[in-house]
Structure 1
């Protein structure tokens, strides 16, 4: 079914059975290359994050709240990419994509849940670093096992009721005859564009939710790091300052990449670039950023590197 222009409020209302994912069918010469590249990256993400989960679980020196949250973060990254990448790889193989209406709603729901959960976990990790550096003597008391588990449970569950409501609003809206989704997965902006008539209220709800979550959590992280940097600069020795900063360098790098790329993808003006550029930006946000996270945490964290070396040595001996 061809779609031309915007949906008209007077258009025919139909019960959509499926969406056609245009994906990267408009660049057929790149599809084989994209399949190979994305497949390699996906395998790397699965292996890299699984390795982090294993070494932070078995190494006695990494049994701290910091690495407990890192373990949650790595598992989340596996879930996050698995929502979109397997279907994308399948669609690249067959050169077209179709997704049932219900499956589209489910994919959007889980994708947005995992995006928000990632924001919450990064915020919890910032709080952990704040307590460790600004209140080191009270760190074992404040960041005990009970609080760590409670924070992790809150991170994984707090976004669920929010997005149940949002997805219900989006997919209970009327859709016209057009079912072509100019994207490679069911993300909220392209789906909302297919809503019949005036979708301003749904768009505003989407922006408000993104802005609220993003701004509140980014301010909490920023506030934590203002305190952290201020405390680090007051340390008497350069060695102490370097050691303190190294414990949060990986996290700060991941936070910067995640929030900046998210702002570029979701908070940009509608007419700032073409849909083709939007798709490649989303590809960067959903696949390339998760690929960098295991590298950052392994290369920028000495404790993880030491634990990884010991783990690999044991595997070689076995």
Structure 2
């Protein structure tokens, strides 16, 4: 209709509600978000570099951990910088196309993370229950094929949902009740019939969420049963500590997703969603490298080795400069 066309042409930007409209809170919140985002970037970049460079971290577990850090970095960067800018500017707007791009990248990386966590659970299951066949089952080729499937599937889901939403017409209302362009706040702004897109999202979300969660649950049930069968208490403790960091990450991530999306509409509050979306777009990418870094001895030792090597390089460089200076400037 003419009305729909008119609405589509008029709407070339959205207004993001942000966290608060109280001006005195803008500066402290900007500072807090900046610190969280910087820790997230440094932590995840650190894990990507360590797992790529350190010879002792060339196992499938750390291959998947590197990709987990890439997805963490991806979705926190899709949202973080724009959120920080919005604390500083007066008019909290986002353009139509930037909003579509933000939604697409956000879905891509969140979806990727869900399946990387489930593949990591399967990897732990193989390591515990088939240790002799581990290198055969989790070969380098298998790892790359699994990652390729995850990225292709996530890209398909991301493009399908984003194109479907942005091909529908938005009404005159353009206030997004969130910090960034997320699915639920955008759906509430559409004036076309949203039944088809809602059904697509429901089917995709249910498939992705249930299938990945089943892999995690089955893997960990088998792992826990195997650990409890171990005779020595020391062996059990060592086995639990190996899985502890991944299990912590899984519980935090799935717990937040369930809180955000798996709740009845009546109890759905946008304020609650805002808190949850802050948690898993900024806090989880910050927590993951900290959990793996603090709980995992391999990562700690790799960090010490790398820092030690860097110190050696720098000290040798300074020594060379001192010797060079003395040679050129004899007393």
TM-score by length of 1: 0.92
Higher-helix-fraction structure: 2
> Contact between 1:20 and 1:181, CA under 8 Å: does it hold in 2?
yes
Alignment of 1:1-318 (within 5 A): 13-15=7-9, 16-196=11-191, 198-317=193-312, 318=314
Q: Which protein has the larger Cα radius of gyration, Structure 1 or Structure 2? A: 2
Per mean C-alpha deviation after superposition, the further-off stretch among 82-91 and 275-284 is 275-284
| Structure 1 segments of 4+ aligned residues over 3 angstroms from their partners | 9-14
Aligned partners of 2:4 and 2:162: how far apart in 1? 24
1:4: which partner in 2? none
> Contact between 2:168 and 2:192, CA under 8 Å: does it hold in 1?
no
Residue 201 of structure 1: how far off its partner (Å): 3.8
> Contact between 1:117 and 1:159, CA under 8 Å: does it hold in 2?
yes
Unaligned runs of 5+ in 1: 1-8
Aligned partners of 1:219 and 1:103: how far apart in 2? 35
SS at match of 1:83: helix
Aligned partners of 1:90 and 1:245: how far apart in 2? 42
Residue 12 of structure 1: how far off its partner (Å): 7.1
Residue 205 of structure 1: how far off its partner (Å): 3.0
Aligned partners of 2:159 and 2:234: how far apart in 1? 49
SS at match of 2:94: strand
Query: 1:251-289 deviations in whole A, cap 9, x for unaligned?
Result: 111011001101111222233253233212211121111
- Cα RMSD over matched residues? 1.9
How many residues of Structure 1 are paired with residues of Structure 2 in the alignment? 310
Aligned partners of 1:10 and 1:142: how far apart in 2? 54
SS at match of 1:84: helix
Aligned partners of 1:13 and 1:131: how far apart in 2? 54
Unaligned runs of 5+ in 2: 315-331
